[in-house]
Amino acid sequence: MNISFTFRHMDPSPAIEGHANKKLEKIINFLKNDTPPIFIEFVLEASKLRAKHTVELRINTPNYLLVTSQTGPDFYLIIDEVIDIMHQRLLDAKQESIDKRKTVGRHDEFKKQR
């Protein structure tokens, strides 16, 4: 599992990285049984003019390709929001793929015969 951080318009911050890694545990636990390679990328962009910073989270696996971003005044709160949104999107995508698998198969053949 490859996790990378990109800091734009700011110096790298070990405190922010540590907070993000701690919060990423639930996404890592969700993806631990997924087929490799798994890429997780954080892009943190500080705004110089306003207190509107942007955090973007990208997850790229053979089964998922998802991107979520949020803006706000506090990096820590934005990171929490982005991870919560991404976790929900992963759950939704997994449920959608399960539902898709349930409807494919012989059931469709029997529907056609009726």
pTM above 0.85, yes or no: no
Count of domains forming the chain: 1
- Other CB atoms closer than 10 Å to residue 61's CB: what's the count? 17
AA identity, residue 25: E
CATH of the domain at 95: 3.30.160.100
Residue 36's pLDDT band, with cuts at 50, 70 and 90, is confident
40-87 pLDDT, tens digit each: 999 999 988 877 899 999 999 998 899 999 999 988 999 999 999 999
The whole-number pLDDT of residue 44 equals: 93
Give CA–CA dist 4/85, Å, rounded. 19
Expressed as residue numbers, the domain containing 48 is: 2-113
Question: Is the omega angle on the peptide bond into residue 62 within 30 degrees of 0, that is, cis?
Answer: no
Give the sign of the dihedral formed by CA 69, CA 10, CA 29, CA 58.
positive
CA dist., res. 65 & res. 43, Å (int)? 16
Residue 78 CB neighbour total at 10 angstroms: 21
